[in-house]
């Protein structure tokens, strides 16, 4: 005889295995690959784009719980990508985490402050990134 499933257990474990979809955008392929592995190990589904143009195509095709994005990239910078992605999918506007090594650059600083977006300065602690993504994708 097969035991009856415990409805309380299903309720408790229901959200445990739900994977959150993250878009990681960075032209540094080595960093993007490392972050992809780290985030996947933390139970996130990670899609990678290497510039803003590629990222826009992915945002058009998929719905993401969060976007981790570098600011200085070729073709389409992170700030330009953010503005276009926000128009395309307004729900993403408060789901961006920018990663940058140029937080002291006046133009970048102005963008980050004016748009009230989350950002981490490279090099950043991995645990800080993971907790930021978890908090954002709830």
Of 98, 90, 106, the C-alpha closest to 122 is 98
**φ, ψ of residue 70 in degrees (nearest 5):** -75, 160
Q: What are the boundaries of each domain within the chain? A: 19-136
pLDDT at 5 over 50: no
Of residues 129 and 138, the one with the higher pLDDT is 129
pLDDT at 6 over 80: no
The torsion defined by the Cα of 64, 54, 93 and 26, in degrees rounded to 10, comes to 90
Token pair of 19 as six digits: 């994977």
pLDDT at 105: 92
Span 75-110, pLDDT tens digits = 899 999 999 999 999 999 999 999 999 989 999 999
Find the mean pLDDT for residues 53-79: 95
Using DSSP's 3-state secondary structure scheme, residue 1 falls into coil
**Region at 75 (left for phi over 0; alpha for psi -120 to 50; beta for the rest):** left
What residues are paired with 70 via a beta bridge?
A: 99
User: Poorest-confidence range of 13-17, 72-76, 110-114, 131-135?
Assistant: 13-17
If you classify domain 19-136 with CATH, what class do you get? alpha beta
- Residue 113's pLDDT band (cuts 50, 70, 90): very high
Q: What is the pTM of this model?
A: 0.85
| Count of helices and strands (H, E) across the chain | 6, 5
pLDDT at 120 over 50: yes
CB atoms within 10 A of CB 130: 16
- pLDDT, mean over the chain: 88
Interior CA angle at 81 toward 58 and 83, to 5°? 120
């Amino acid at each position: 005889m097969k035991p009856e499933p415990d409805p309380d257990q299903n309720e408790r474990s229901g959200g445990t295995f739900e994977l959150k979809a993250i878009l990681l955008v960075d032209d540094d392929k080595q960093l993007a690959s490392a972050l992809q592995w780290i985030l996947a190990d933390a139970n996130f589904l990670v899609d990678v784009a290497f510039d803003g143009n590629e990222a826009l195509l992915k945002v058009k095709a998929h719905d993401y719980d969060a976007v981790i994005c570098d600011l200085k990239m070729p073709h389409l910078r992170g700030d330009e990508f953010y503005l276009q992605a926000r128009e395309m999918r307004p729900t993403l506007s408060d789901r961006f985490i920018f990663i940058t090594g140029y937080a002291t650059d006046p133009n970048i600083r102005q963008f980050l402050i004016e748009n009230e977006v989350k950002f981490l300065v490279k090099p950043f602690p991995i645990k800080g990134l993971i907790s930021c993504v978890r908090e954002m994708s709830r």
